[in-house]
Amino acid sequence: MIKIVPHCMPLMALFLFLALPSALSGQQPPSKPRLKTVVLDPGHGGKDAGCISRDGKTYEKTITLSVAKLLGQKISSAYPDVKVVYTRSTDQYITLNDRAEVANRNHADLFISIHVDAFTNTSANGFSAHVFGRSSGKDSDLFQRNLDLCRRENSVILLEEDYSTEYSGFDPNDPESFIFFNLMQNAFYEQSILFAAEVAGELSKGPIVHSRGIWQNPFYVLWRTTMPAVLVELGFMSNPSDLKVLRSSAGKEQIAGRLFNAFRKFKAAYDGSLDLSSLQSSQPEKQQSSVPAAASGKAGPDVRYGIQILALSKKIKTGDKALKGYSPEIFRTGDIYKYIVGISSSEAEALDTYRTVKRRFPDSFPVVIDGERISPLK
């Protein structure tokens, strides 16, 4: 079962439509965008071993490289036209900055950073997916429950000389360093969430089935990338059951297969060859909307149009700075609250409003409101 984790900070909906500009413009583009390059980032490496098993025999850096290579082979075999780039293909140390630069330099369409978790309590287990985000304040659960993970994954910075200059003052031991990141500046947030949802849905099929959810975290490597980016924690080396899977060739092969299936679904959506309803049907039942679907192909009498600017796992107050001065109507779909502005009975009027809204919300998109059902405007 996949659960959305609202503990870190407001979390956007898992099922937001992939907000590609050509798809939202209402005009037929000359050619559809295609996912041509994926960068696989095996976490840690070289002098940075990452997590180490309690018996000292297994390193995170080894597991992540093995899984990344298996995943890359599967992608190359199924999609010869997709360029697969590794941030490292051997046991070498790569800075966080260089990892992001590999993705940016290759104009990647997707960045996947692969990691393994660990904790002092050996009962902690399961996988998780992470997208870039910021905390709403010091008192958020990010600092109470997830700060250790943030610090550990960012702490590789401290292995570098003059890291405070190289990383613009980013200090992985200082929670204040996280607050300056601006979530709304990430133009690929919704695409990242979409891929993270696919990853979580696939990994829940095993061999490590416990989902710790989809989190937002201020990981430096995600912040610096200029494309959809997700960091995946495959399991816990500190948990005997997870470690057994992660150590085994069969376990790593199966995990790579799950990640490939998530990639395949995301690529299909990105390429425009799979519609949203098909994509959503792959998600666990709990994540789907409890609102009955409207009759296919026919708009109901209550049909309206608007622009969805946000989708969060909890309500935010009117006047919140995240709304940027707008006063949206809020629609609940399952555990997600969708924030929609510019609602009108006229499609043309809504599209005209969209031209203004997208300047402040680049990832916003037009929607059809048919009764209680909300869907992207085709």
How is 109-170 classified by DSSP, letter by letter?
SEEEEEEEE--SSTT---EEEEEE---S-TTSHHHHHSHHHHHHHHGGGGGSTTHHHHTTT-
Q: Mean pLDDT in the chain?
A: 76
Closest CA to 84 of 45, 132, 131, 41: 41
Could you tell me if 253 and 352 lie in one domain? no
53 is a domain residue? yes
Query: Does pLDDT of 32 surpass 90?
Result: no
Residue 191: what pLDDT? 83
Over residues 130-138, mean pLDDT: 58
Greatest mean pLDDT among 66-80, 177-191, 331-345 lies in 66-80
Query: Does pLDDT of 125 surpass 90?
Result: yes
Query: Does pLDDT of 136 surpass 60?
Result: no
> Which of 270, 304, 323 is a domain's end point?
270
**R_g of the chain computed on alpha carbons:** 21
Closest CA to 343 of 291, 302, 297: 302
Could you tell me if 247 and 303 lie in one domain? no
Over residues 62-81, mean pLDDT: 97
Over residues 1-15, mean pLDDT: 38
Residue 300: what pLDDT? 53
Could you tell me if 260 and 299 lie in one domain? no
Query: Does pLDDT of 158 surpass 90?
Result: no
Could you tell me if 126 and 195 lie in one domain? yes
Residue 246: what pLDDT? 98
> Which of 241, 270, 299 is a domain's end point?
270
Query: Does pLDDT of 348 surpass 90?
Result: yes
Query: Does pLDDT of 184 surpass 80?
Result: no
CATH of the domain at 351: 3.30.70.1070
Could you tell me if 340 and 255 lie in one domain? no
Query: Does pLDDT of 355 surpass 80?
Result: yes
122 is a domain residue? yes
Residue 279: what pLDDT? 40
Residue 317: what pLDDT? 81
Strand boundaries in the chain, DSSP class E? 37-42, 83-86, 110-117, 127-132, 211-217, 229-236, 304-312, 329-333, 336-344, 365-370, 373-376
Could you tell me if 176 and 300 lie in one domain? no
Closest CA to 25 of 272, 310, 365, 362: 365
pLDDT in tens, 226-241: 889 999 999 999 999 9
15 is a domain residue? no
Residue 55: what pLDDT? 96
> Which of 211, 237, 270 is a domain's end point?
270
What's at 210, amino acid-wise?
H
Q: Predicted confidence band at 161 (pLDDT cuts at 50, 70, 90)? A: low
198 is a domain residue? yes
240 is a domain residue? yes
Over residues 137-141, mean pLDDT: 38
277 is a domain residue? no
The CA distance from 217 to 102, in Å, is 21
Contacts of 285 (CB under 8 A, 6+ apart): none
Could you tell me if 241 and 303 lie in one domain? no
Long-range contacts of 277-283 (CB under 8 A, 24+ apart): 279/15, 279/194, 279/198, 280/15, 282/198, 282/201, 283/2, 283/14, 283/15, 283/197, 283/201
11 is a domain residue? no
Could you tell me if 244 and 318 lie in one domain? no
13 is a domain residue? no
The CA distance from 216 to 314, in Å, is 14
Could you tell me if 170 and 100 lie in one domain? yes
User: 336 is in which domain, residue-wise?
Assistant: 289-376
Q: Predicted confidence band at 24 (pLDDT cuts at 50, 70, 90)? A: very low
Structure-token pair, residue 290: 């409890």
Could you tell me if 247 and 302 lie in one domain? no
Q: Predicted confidence band at 117 (pLDDT cuts at 50, 70, 90)? A: very high
**Overall pTM surpassing 0.85 (yes/no):** no
Q: Predicted confidence band at 135 (pLDDT cuts at 50, 70, 90)? A: very low
Phi, psi for residue 127 in degrees, rounded to 5: -105, 165
Could you tell me if 69 and 33 lie in one domain? yes
Asked if 225 and 103 count as a contact pair (C-beta separation under 8 A), the reply is yes
The CA distance from 321 to 360, in Å, is 12
Say how many residues make up the chain.
378
Q: Give the residue with greater pLDDT, 20 vs 167.
A: 167
pLDDT in tens, 284-328: 333 333 333 333 334 456 799 999 888 765 677 888 887 889 999
Burial 147-175 (b: 16+ CB within 10 A, else e): bebbebbbebbeebeebeeebeebbbeeb
Cis peptide leading into residue 328 (ω within 30°): no
Could you tell me if 303 and 257 lie in one domain? no
Residue 101: what pLDDT? 92
- What is the domain count for the chain? 2
CATH of the domain at 210: 3.40.630.40
